[in-house]
C-alpha cells in the first residue's frame, strides 16, 4: 500500500515535542541528558526514553508557570489523538473496520471534542490563590465541613494532584476567610431586609449542647416582594451560663438593633410556651418607645403550636406511664425468642386477627413511636389475652380497664400525630393553616373532659389547662390569619366558635371582628402617612408621584382626605362581603394575594405581615422529639463568633444555591438521649 510505503521511509528525528521548550538537550560522551530550564534537574534525554517522563516532571515542577502546564496538557492531548490516527493506518482491514465501528458514534466523538476544548481553555487561565481560598471557605461553610479539614492528609493530597500551585494554609487562616465571607454576606442580608416594604416576624429558638451550654437562635420570617415566604437566620447567640430573664430580653433587643429591624417587627414567636411573659413585656416596651405597636401589640406575642401539642402529649404519656410499661413488657416478651414469636403468631391466626403489622418497641426520644406501639398492640388485644390465660411466664398482662385506657389515649394521640404531621410537613407554612387544626384540638379536649371515666377526664382536664394558656395568647392571631384566607373569611371563625363557645359565641366572634378592624385601621393610618411623605419606617406603600414639578399634588392630597374614610372601610368590607373563594387542593394563598393586591392595597399589606407569622417553630426532624434542640459537638466546640458566622452564612448560602424550603431548618442538631 502507498501509505505503508511512505511511512516506511526513515526520516531524521527532530525534537518536535513541545516538551523540549522546557528542556535543554546536552550530550556528554554517549549519554544524552535533558536539563529542565526551570529547576536545572537532569533527566534522561535519549531518543529511546521518549518524553513521558519529561512531561511528568513538568507537572510536578514547582518553578514552572500554570500557563506552561496547560499548554503541555494540550500538547499531550494532541499527541495522543495523532498517535491514535497513525495506529489505525497500520492495522489490518478487518481490524480497522471494527475499530471504526467502535469509535464512529457521534456521542463518543463529541465527548472527545468537548474534553479537548475544556483542556485547551485552561491555557487562557491563570491560577488565583486568593480566589481558591475564598472558594474553599465557601465550600466549608455551605457543606458544614470542619475547619480542620484543610490539615487532613487526604485533602492535601487530593488538592495537590488537582492543582499543585495551591498553597495550603492553616485552619486559623481559613477561619479568618470564613469570617470575612460572613461579614460580606451579612451586609447583603442587611440591605435586603431593610429594603423590604413589609414587616418581619422573628422566631426565637433555644438550643443546648452536649456540654449543657445554651444558645439562642433568631430567625427572621417574612414574605418578600414577589409574595414568597422566606426565612433567614440572623443570629446564633451563645448565652452566659448564669443568664437571667433580663439578659434574654436584652440579647434579643440588641440583635434587633444590630440589624436595625426593631421598627419593622410585627410579631415574635417563642418555641417554648413556658417563656415568662415579663421577657415579652420588656421587649414590647423597648420597641414601643420608638414606634407604637400595631393594635396595641395584641398579635405581638405568639407561641409555637407544635410545642403546645408536645406539652399536651407529654401529660398524656405521664398519665399512662404504668400502662405503657406493661405494653413494652408484653412486646418484649413476645419478641424475646423465635419460639414465643411463632406461638403468638399462631394464636393471632387461630382467633382470626387479620392484622399484618409487626409488634414494635417505641423509642424514648420520639413520642409518635409510642403511639405506633400502642396502636399495634391494641390490634392484637385478643391474642395477648389468650396468651395471658395459657402462658404463665407472661407477666406483663393488662387488665380490662387498662386496655380501655390504652385504647382511649391511643385515639387521643392519633389526633395529635395527624395534626403534627400537617404542621411539620407543610412546605409553605403560612399562618392561615393553623386555625382549623387548633380548633379541632380545642373541640376534642372539651369532649374528652366530659368522659365518665375519672382517670381519663382528669387527664383531659390537665391537658386542656395547658391548651387554654396557649389559646388565650394566640387565638386572635390564629383567627385573623384564617380570616385573611379568601376561602374562609369570617365564616370559619363563626363555624368553629359556635362549637367551642356555644351561647357566648357571638360575643367571641365580635371580639375577633373588632380586632381585625382595629388592625386594619392601623394599617390605613400607615398608608395615609406614606401618601403624605412621612411614613413610619417599615410600613410603606409606593407613593403616587415622584415628579417634583407635578402641579396636581394638592389635588391628590384633597382626593385622599375627602375619600379617606370611605376607601379604608370599603377595602376591608369589600373583601369580607364578597363570596368566599372555592376550596381546592391547588390553592396558593400567597399567589391569590399577589394577584389581588391592586384590589386590596391596604388589606394586602396587612395580609403580607400576618401570613408570614411563624405559628410553629419546630422543624420536621424535631416535631415528635421529647428533647430540645441539641447542637452537635463540633459546632459547640467553636468560639462564639465563629459558630455564629458558620451557622448564619450556611443558611444564607443554602437559600441562594437552591430552591430552599422555608420550613426546613439546618440539620445541626443531635438527638437528645
The DSSP-derived string for 6-55 is HHHS-------SGGGGGEEEEEETTEEEEEETTT--EEE--GGG-SHHHH
What is the C-alpha separation between 499 and 502, in angstroms, rounded? 6
pTM for this model (two decimals):
0.76
204 three-state secondary structure: strand
Q: Please return the burial class of 3, using the count of CB atoms within 10 Å of its CB with bins 0-12, 13-18 and 19+.
A: exposed
Q: What is the mean pLDDT of residues 610-623?
A: 86
What is the C-alpha separation between 522 and 516, in angstroms, rounded? 10
CA proximity to 613, closest of 236, 278, 202: 202
Summarize pLDDT for 296-311 with one digit per residue, the tens: 778 899 999 999 999 9
The grid coordinates listed for 352 are 382470626
CA proximity to 493, closest of 482, 477, 501, 504: 482
Confidence check: pLDDT of 122 > 90? no
Summarize pLDDT for 378-414 with one digit per residue, the tens: 999 999 999 999 899 999 999 999 999 999 999 999 9
Summarize pLDDT for 456-490 with one digit per residue, the tens: 999 999 999 999 999 999 999 999 999 999 999 99
What pLDDT is attached to residue 661? 47
- Contacts for 155-159: CB closer than 8 Å, 24+ residues apart: none
Position with higher pLDDT, 237 vs 289: 237
pLDDT band at 667 (very low <50, low <70, confident <90, very high): low
- The pair phi, psi for residue 41, each rounded to 5°, is -75, 140
CA proximity to 99, closest of 112, 111, 84, 113: 84
What pLDDT is attached to residue 257? 93
Query: Regarding beta strands 629-630 and 200-208, do their DSSP bridges make them parallel or antiparallel, or are they unpaired?
Result: parallel
What pLDDT is attached to residue 104? 39
Query: Regarding beta strands 214-223 and 200-208, do their DSSP bridges make them parallel or antiparallel, or are they unpaired?
Result: antiparallel
Q: What is the mean pLDDT of residues 115-130?
A: 59
Summarize pLDDT for 327-361 with one digit per residue, the tens: 999 999 999 999 999 999 999 999 988 888 899 99
What pLDDT is attached to residue 373? 95
- What is the chain's percent helix, strand, coil content, to nearest 5? 60, 10, 30
Alpha helix ranges (H) inside 28-152: 52-60, 66-90, 93-103, 106-121, 129-143
Tell me which DSSP letter residue 366 carries. Answer: B
What pLDDT is attached to residue 277? 81
Confidence check: pLDDT of 260 > 90? yes
CA proximity to 412, closest of 440, 454, 383, 384: 440
Q: What is the mean pLDDT of residues 197-206?
A: 92
The grid coordinates listed for 400 are 380490662
What is the C-alpha separation between 435 and 478, in angstroms, rounded? 5
8 A C-beta contact, residue 269 and residue 615 = yes
What is the C-alpha separation between 30 and 401, in angstroms, rounded? 105
What is the C-alpha separation between 232 and 220, in angstroms, rounded? 5
Q: What is the mean pLDDT of residues 639-662?
A: 81
Q: What is the mean pLDDT of residues 262-275?
A: 86
Cα 416 → chain centroid: 23
How many CB atoms neighbour CB 325 within 10 A? 11
What pLDDT is attached to residue 465? 94
pLDDT band at 278 (very low <50, low <70, confident <90, very high): confident
How many CB atoms neighbour CB 636 within 10 A? 20
> Which of 44-58, 406-420, 545-559 bottoms out in mean pLDDT, i.e. has the lowest?
545-559
What pLDDT is attached to residue 309? 93
Confidence check: pLDDT of 22 > 90? no
β-pair partners for 25:
34
Annotate 602-640 with DSSP letters as a single string.
HHHHHHHHHHTS-S----GGGTTBSS-EEB-HHHHTS-H
Q: What is the mean pLDDT of residues 182-201?
A: 94
What pLDDT is attached to residue 125? 65
Confidence check: pLDDT of 113 > 80? no
What is the C-alpha separation between 202 and 399, in angstroms, rounded? 49
Confidence check: pLDDT of 659 > 60? no
pLDDT band at 657 (very low <50, low <70, confident <90, very high): low
β-pair partners for 230:
222
- The pair phi, psi for residue 231, each rounded to 5°, is -150, 145
Query: Regarding beta strands 265-270 and 229-239, do their DSSP bridges make them parallel or antiparallel, or are they unpaired?
Result: unpaired
8 A C-beta contact, residue 545 and residue 556 = yes
What pLDDT is attached to residue 328? 94
pLDDT band at 64 (very low <50, low <70, confident <90, very high): low
What pLDDT is attached to residue 458? 95
What pLDDT is attached to residue 549? 56
8 A C-beta contact, residue 513 and residue 490 = yes
8 A C-beta contact, residue 382 and residue 351 = yes
What is the C-alpha separation between 370 and 390, in angstroms, rounded? 27
Summarize pLDDT for 420-455 with one digit per residue, the tens: 999 988 777 899 999 999 999 999 999 999 999 999
What pLDDT is attached to residue 570? 60
Summarize pLDDT for 236-257 with one digit per residue, the tens: 999 987 777 678 889 999 999 9
Confidence check: pLDDT of 45 > 60? yes
Cα 365 → chain centroid: 22
What is the C-alpha separation between 199 and 171, in angstroms, rounded? 40
If you average pLDDT over every residue of the chain, what do you get? 82
What pLDDT is attached to residue 70? 47
Q: What is the CA radius of gyration of the chain?
A: 36
CA distances from 569 to 520, 522, 658 (A): 9, 12, 42
Amino acid at each position: 500500500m502507498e501509505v505503508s510505503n511512505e511511512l516506511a521511509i526513515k526520516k531524521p528525528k527532530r525534537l518536535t515535542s513541545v516538551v523540549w521548550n522546557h528542556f535543554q538537550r546536552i550530550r556528554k560522551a554517549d549519554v544524552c541528558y535533558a536539563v529542565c530550564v526551570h529547576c536545572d534537574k537532569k533527566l534522561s534525554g535519549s531518543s529511546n526514553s521518549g518524553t513521558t517522563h519529561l512531561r511528568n516532571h513538568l507537572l510536578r515542577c514547582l518553578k514552572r508557570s500554570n500557563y506552561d502546564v496547560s499548554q503541555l496538557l494540550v500538547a499531550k492531548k494532541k499527541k495522543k489523538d495523532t498517535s491514535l490516527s497513525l495506529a489505525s493506518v497500520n492495522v489490518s482491514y478487518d481490524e480497522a473496520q471494527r475499530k471504526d465501528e467502535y469509535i464512529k458514534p457521534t456521542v463518543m466523538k463529541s465527548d472527545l471534542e468537548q474534553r479537548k476544548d475544556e483542556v485547551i481553555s485552561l491555557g487562557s487561565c491563570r491560577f488565583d490563590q486568593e480566589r481558591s481560598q475564598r472558594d474553599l471557605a465557601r465550600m466549608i461553610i455551605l457543606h458544614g465541613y470542619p475547619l480542620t479539614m484543610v490539615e487532613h492528609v487526604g485533602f492535601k493530597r487530593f488538592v495537590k494532584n488537582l492543582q499543585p500551585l495551591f498553597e495550603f494554609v492553616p485552619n486559623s487562616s481559613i477561619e479568618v476567610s470564613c469570617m470575612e465571607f460572613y461579614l460580606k454576606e451579612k451586609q447583603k442580608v442587611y440591605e435586603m431586609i431593610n429594603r423590604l416594604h413589609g414587616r418581619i416576624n422573628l422566631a426565637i429558638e433555644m438550643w443546648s449542647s452536649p456540654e449543657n451550654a445554651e444558645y439562642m437562635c433568631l430567625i427572621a420570617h417574612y414574605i418578600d416582594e414577589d409574595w414568597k415566604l422566606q426565612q433567614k437566620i440572623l443570629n446564633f447567640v451563645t448565652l452566659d451560663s448564669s443568664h437571667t430573664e433580663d439578659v434574654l430580653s436584652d440579647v434579643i433587643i440588641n440583635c434587633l438593633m444590630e440589624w436595625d429591624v426593631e421598627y419593622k417587627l410585627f410579631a415574635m414567636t417563642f418555641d417554648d410556651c413556658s417563656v415568662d411573659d415579663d421577657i415579652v413585656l420588656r421587649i414590647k416596651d423597648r420597641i414601643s418607645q420608638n414606634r407604637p405597636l400595631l393594635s396595641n401589640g395584641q398579635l405581638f406575642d405568639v407561641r409555637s403550636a407544635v410545642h403546645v401539642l408536645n406539652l399536651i402529649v407529654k401529660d398524656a404519656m405521664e398519665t399512662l406511664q404504668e400502662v405503657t410499661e406493661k405494653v413494652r413488657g408484653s412486646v418484649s416478651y413476645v419478641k424475646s425468642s423465635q419460639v414465643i414469636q411463632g406461638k403468638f403468631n399462631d394464636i393471632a391466626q387461630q382467633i382470626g386477627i387479620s392484622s399484618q403489622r409487626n409488634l414494635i418497641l417505641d423509642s424514648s426520644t420520639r413520642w409518635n413511636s409510642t403511639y405506633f406501639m400502642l396502636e399495634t398492640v391494641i390490634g392484637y388485644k385478643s391474642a395477648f389475652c389468650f396468651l395471658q390465660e395459657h402462658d404463665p411466664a407472661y407477666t406483663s398482662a393488662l387488665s380490662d380497664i387498662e386496655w380501655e385506657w390504652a385504647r382511649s389515649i391511643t385515639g387521643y394521640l392519633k389526633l395529635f400525630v395527624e395534626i403534627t404531621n400537617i404542621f411539620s410537613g407543610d412546605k409553605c407554612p403560612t399562618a392561615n393553616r393553623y386555625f382549623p387544626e387548633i380548633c379541632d384540638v380545642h373541640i376534642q379536649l372539651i369532649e374528652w373532659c366530659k368522659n365518665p371515666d375519672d382517670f381519663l377526664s382528669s387527664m383531659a382536664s390537665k391537658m386542656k389547662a395547658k391548651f387554654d394558656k396557649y389559646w388565650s395568647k394566640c387565638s386572635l392571631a390564629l383567627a385573623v390569619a384564617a380570616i385573611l384566607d379568601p376561602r374562609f373569611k369570617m365564616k370559619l371563625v363563626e363555624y368553629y366558635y359556635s362549637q367551642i363557645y356555644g351561647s357566648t359565641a357571638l360575643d367571641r366572634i365580635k371580639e375577633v371582628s373588632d380586632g381585625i378592624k382595629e388592625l386594619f385601621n392601623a394599617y390605613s393610618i400607615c398608608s395615609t402617612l406614606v401618601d403624605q411623605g412621612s411614613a413610619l419606617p417599615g410600613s410603606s406603600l409606593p407613593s403616587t408621584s415622584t415628579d417634583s414639578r407635578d402641579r396636581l399634588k394638592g389635588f391628590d392630597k384633597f382626593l385622599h382626605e375627602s375619600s379617606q374614610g370611605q376607601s379604608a372601610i370599603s377595602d376591608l368590607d369589600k373583601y369580607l362581603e364578597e363570596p368566599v373563594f372555592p376550596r381546592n387542593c391547588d390553592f396558593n394563598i400567597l399567589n391569590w394575594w399577589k394577584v389581588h393586591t391592586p384590589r386590596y392595597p391596604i388589606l394586602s399589606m396587612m395580609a403580607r405581615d400576618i401570613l408570614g407569622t411563624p405559628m410553629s417553630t419546630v422543624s420536621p426532624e424535631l416535631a415528635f422529639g421529647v428533647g430540645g434542640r441539641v447542637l452537635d459537638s463540633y459546632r459547640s466546640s467553636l468560639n462564639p463568633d465563629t459558630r455564629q458566622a458558620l451557622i448564619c452564612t450556611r443558611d444564607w448560602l443554602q437559600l441562594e444555591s437552591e430552591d430552599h424550603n422555608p420550613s426546613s431548618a439546618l440539620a445541626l442538631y443531635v438527638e437528645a438521649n
